[in-house]
Amino acid sequence: MITEDLTQPSEALRYFGQVARHFRRRARLTHTELGEKLRYASALVGHVETATRIATDEYTLRLEDVLDANGLLAAALPMLEAERRRAESRPVHVFVVEGSVEKMPEPMAATLLRLLAKGANAAPTDRRADG
């Protein structure tokens, strides 16, 4: 599994994504082609490259093998583990609204709590024009 979205990816994670992108481009592969070779969704390839997801060890080792990165990507495994621990230690606020569960980053959760405390409607209104 790949760790959930990050709100503030570290420099190390962004650098890992740039290195992964470099090796993908060197291999002349698209996100879709690399995803097929890795047996992961193409969107996930992009998420790892843009540091919005943290790659698992399995993903990283497959990436290392498919892109023939000479150990450079595998060398990042300890850093990726540290990033996963950092991401897991951040608080996650969960709200149940009309039977659905939503995960929110802390600033958004604080804003919602303030609105709820004031009695405001927390759900955004549908702004589509009736037609």
Q: Which residues span the domain enclosing 43?
A: 11-89
Would 114 be classed as within a structural domain?
A: yes
112 and 53, same structural domain? no
Q: Does residue 131 form part of some domain?
A: no
Reduced 3-state DSSP string for 17-76: HHHHHHHHHHCCCCHHHHHHHHCCCHHHHHHHHCCCCECCHHHHHHHHHHHCCCCCCHHH
- Do residue 116 and residue 71 come from a single domain? no
Q: Are residues 84 and 110 in the same domain?
A: no
Whether 128 is in a domain gets the answer: no
**Is there a single domain that holds both residue 85 and residue 25?**
yes
In tens digits, what is the pLDDT along the chain, a chain of 131 residues? 444 445 678 899 999 999 999 999 999 999 999 999 999 999 999 999 999 999 999 999 999 999 999 999 999 999 999 998 888 776 655 555 554 446 666 777 777 677 766 664 444 444 444 44
**In this structure, is residue 6 part of a structural domain?**
no
